Structure 1
């Protein structure tokens, strides 16, 4: 009976946590930016063109620089990628996506460290993380963390 009550409490707490996340400003901003991105025909056209070029690029990569269209397709895919990355709606979406990822990483760290500080929490690329170490470095404290 006690184990059942503990499990029910855990399920209730996890449900409350997921509801808090979905009601957060960060999540609402992410959903808003995602919808704007999906509804904008100009961006969708650029995404479609980029995906088409990506397919051609993968075909060219099979042969490398010996493919007759290697240079042209390589240049074009870089231009399409840059066009896509610099579009304001795409940059806004990526920023919102990164903020949501950071929130989820922080929550993961808090949950893991509430059990044990030796649990390693993958937080993405350590070179770009805003968080200092988060226990995921595995260096035993050589990065000035408290591991």
Structure 2
């Protein structure tokens, strides 16, 4: 692979720095993220230039733009530490995580309410069944007893009627 001239390398570094400034200002291309892949695409250089290279003897040497990749990562971390969210996807992810947590809390509260109401319903049905059984027992006892008389039911007098 042919090496690039110093003039071409200088132009590429200027393009990488200009692209870095745009990305760190939040000017992301459609579908782009705050990463080295997008930086390389915006600058018009290959991404491999941002990574170390292997020599034939097995040792490594820095890539031609590796120092710019490190600068990009350093500036990005500094902005993130300052609380700036440059990537709209990061903001969306944070918002969705917060929504997800709120929904999980609501579901847990509703599950607890459902559990409480189910226990209440079970108790209420049990009590109603016991009361019904007691009423049936008393009715049967009333019908079977010969010494008990049923009193006649009097019509109620409405005090408002004259």
Superposed pair shares fold, TM > 0.5: no
Bigger proportion of residues as helix? 1
Larger Rg: 1 or 2? 2
Scaled by the length of structure 2, the TM-score of the pair is 0.27
TM-score by length of 1: 0.29
